[in-house]
């Protein structure tokens, strides 16, 4: 199941202590699908990275369940991400020389030996569901849509409670984008995971349970999506 998110008095600073993001309060229940939208430079990706423990937090707390990642040391945050968070980056960050299966199961290289088989099987099953052949050839010749699906499979291979996605449909055509977000939301909901997706894409927004608007580094609106699940 997903982990409850509770953010309190969060501030992320940049150069010369300039405030990039300020969030007084934010709560997301386990299992929700939440979209983050706003203009370029508004602080959307900064918020996502702060929730993942990848941004330098000046003050405040970011609790995932009982864990405040803002209070952890860097190596502890990295361990928490490996254990609990699946990240989908806009730039894919795949290893060109590896196959789809090898990229998707990469988390096994950083996990206990006892988990590696499960991670490899889950990666292969997700690739199959997303329509990517886990063949021997490297991903160097893959299309943007295939690469994005490999990135999704990699994020889900360790069965994370939390999925954080940064512009997951940005490089895809409309048909591929719709298939991907439908698959991603279904995979998250079927597993009771918490999904938070930063996106400019209205087709992503309408598939979420909630939409949070960010402007000038602040949360300016937080509303349920029309037609969203009653239990969201």
- Cα 130 from Cα 199, distance rounded (Å): 20
CB 107 within 8 A of CB 82: yes
Q: Tell me: the pLDDT tens digits for 167-179?
A: 988 877 888 788 8
Structural domain including 195 reads 29-57+72-224
User: Is position 23 within any domain?
Assistant: no
Is residue 15 one of the residues assigned to a domain? no
7 lies in a domain?
A: no
Q: For residue 95, what is the domain's CATH number?
A: 3.40.50.300
- Examine residue 13 and state whether it is found in any structural domain, yes or no: no
How far is the CA of 153 from the CAs of 29, 144, 161, in angstroms?
24, 14, 14
Looking at the DSSP bridge assignments, the partners of residue 68 are 63
Residue 108 within any structural domain of the chain: yes
CA 148 to chain centre: 13
Q: How many CA atoms lie within 13 A of 174 on its CB side?
A: 2
Is 209 a domain residue?
Answer: yes
Q: What would the pLDDT profile of 62-94 be if each residue is shown by its tens digit?
A: 999 999 999 999 999 999 998 899 999 888 889
Average pLDDT over residues 91-112: 86
Express each pLDDT in 144-164 by its tens digit. Answer: 888 888 998 999 898 899 999
Domain tally, the chain: 1
- The predicted model scores a pTM of 0.89
- pLDDT at residue 183 in the model: 81
Report if residue 161 sits inside a domain.
yes
Residue 139 domain-assigned (yes or no): yes
CA distance 12 to 36: 17
Nearest alpha carbon to residue 124 among 148, 93, 109, 102: 102
pLDDT for position 176: 79
């Amino acid at each position: 199941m997903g982990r409850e998110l509770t953010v309190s008095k969060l501030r992320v600073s940049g150069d010369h202590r300039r405030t990039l993001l300020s969030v007084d309060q934010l709560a997301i229940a386990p299992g929700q699908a939440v979209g983050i939208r706003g203009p370029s430079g508004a602080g959307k990706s900064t918020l996502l990275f702060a929730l993942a423990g990848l941004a330098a937090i000046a003050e405040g707390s970011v609790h995932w369940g009982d864990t405040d990642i803002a209070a952890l040391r860097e190596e502890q945050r990295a361990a928490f991400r490996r254990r609990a968070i699946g990240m989908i980056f806009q730039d894919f960050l795949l290893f060109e020389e590896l196959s789809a299966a090898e990229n998707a199961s990469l988390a096994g290289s950083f996990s206990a030996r006892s988990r590696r088989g499960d991670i490899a099987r889950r990666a292969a099953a997700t690739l199959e569901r997303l329509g990517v052949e886990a063949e021997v050839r490297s991903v160097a010749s893959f299309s943007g849509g295939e690469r994005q699906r490999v990135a999704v499979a990699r994020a889900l291979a360790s069965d994370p409670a939390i999925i954080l996605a940064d512009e997951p449909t940005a490089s895809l055509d409309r048909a591929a984008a719709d298939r991907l977000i439908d698959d991603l939301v279904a995979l998250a909901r079927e597993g009771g995971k918490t999904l938070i997706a930063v996106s400019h894409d209205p087709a992503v927004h309408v598939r979420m349970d909630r939409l949070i608007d960010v402007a000038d580094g602040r949360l300016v609106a937080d509303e349920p999506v029309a037609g969203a699940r009653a239990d969201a």
